[in-house]
Amino acid sequence: MQKSSPIVSVVLPVYNGKAYLKEAIDSVLNQSFGNFEMVIIDDGSTDDSADLVRAYDDPRIRFYEQENQGLAATLNRGVALAKGEFIARQDQDDICLPTRFEKQIDWFEKHPEAGMVGTAAEIWVGRTKTERVLQHPTEDALIRFGLLFHNHFVHSSVMIRKMALDDVGGYSEDSRRQPPEDYELWSRIMRHYQVGNLPDILTVYREVDGSMSRTGINPFVPNLIRISSENLAWVSGYSEDAPEVVALVSLHQGAYEKISKGVKLSHVLKVLKVAADSIHAESEGVVNALYQAVSRERRKIIYHYFNWRSGGMLDKWLKFCIRVFSKARVLN
């Protein structure tokens, strides 16, 4: 019999998700770890998603309907309604494999100071399995360094300590900070809590058109640059508006139009070094892996810097060389 206070609360927002919703719900109900509740919120769907959820007769499901408020607001309502110590995210078109919750709870028991943990995921296109896998770093220091620039978690794989969500204020509903609402939240969590990823493939991430997180106008890159600049400022001590900080983030994204004309490569690389040195202090056991990650980022920034300074000629030259080399191999 399920306890009155579940350990895990699964938050599943729904918006016109009928196509894959049953698979998503069933994958949660079939978990090997049974002490959970599932908070499902229909965010103003115009299809039959709500009817599909109502057809379930399972005491673990708590179903709510509302007028359309968007993903971030719906997730925050789900977290507010949750009774569990941990929040497990689940998307309407993804699948969690049977031992996901069990392994994540076991990880939290071994990492009592941690705030969140994700998993690796295999990628499907519709109902077709691909050979592609989303595999992110597993150690805290490596994830922290990666989060300076981009997302290192599969959103529908994460389990978060509810206390951590309460501490940082949940998902941002500010339009200037979403999307990517997930990366924005992870960035705030990693400033206060340890984070991790399980290497196990415990999630199926489905690529579909028109999903809840991929509809509407997408201001993704400008928001990403803003959040990444904040992350670098946090770890390095620089101002988030400093030209060399904005240049570092913009070079990483290939967004050359954001770079100030007079910025020097040496200043940009200094920001990267200061940030890496700060994270290095907490990288026990993964020093070599962190060094390799920093070296890769440094090479990427140098390449983009000279490509920016040359007006894109370096990129054009590289593509030309690849075409010539490919033709030569065919002829030989």
* Predicted local confidence at residue 218, as pLDDT: 46
Residues of the chain short of pLDDT 70, as ranges, are 1-3, 210-219, 327-332
Handedness of CA 31, 34, 36, 40 (dihedral sign): positive
| Helix, strand, or coil (residue 56) | coil
Q: Omega before 243 cis (within 30°)?
A: no
pLDDT of residue 328: 58
pLDDT value at residue 287: 87
* In 152-215, beta strands by DSSP E: 159-161, 194-207
pLDDT at 179: 87
The conformation of residue 146, written as its DSSP 8-state character, comes to H
Question: In the prediction, which pLDDT does 138 show?
Answer: 96
Q: What is the pLDDT of residue 327?
A: 66
Instruction: Give one word for 82, left, alpha or beta, with left for phi > 0 and alpha for psi -120 to 50.
Output: beta
pLDDT of res. 235? 95
Q: What is the pLDDT of residue 215?
A: 42
CATH topology of domain 8-207: Spore Coat Polysaccharide Biosynthesis Protein SpsA; Chain A (3.90.550)
What whole-number distance in Å separates Cα of residue 266 and Cα of residue 272?
A: 10
Rounded to the nearest 5 percent, the helix, strand and coil shares of the chain are 50, 20, 35
Instruction: Specify whether the backbone of 285 is left (phi greater than 0), alpha (psi in -120 to 50) or beta.
Output: left
Instruction: Give the span between the Cα atoms of 245 and 85, in whole angstroms.
Output: 37
Domain with CATH 3.90.550.10 in the chain: 8-207
Half-sphere exposure of 314 (CA within 13 A, CB side): 12
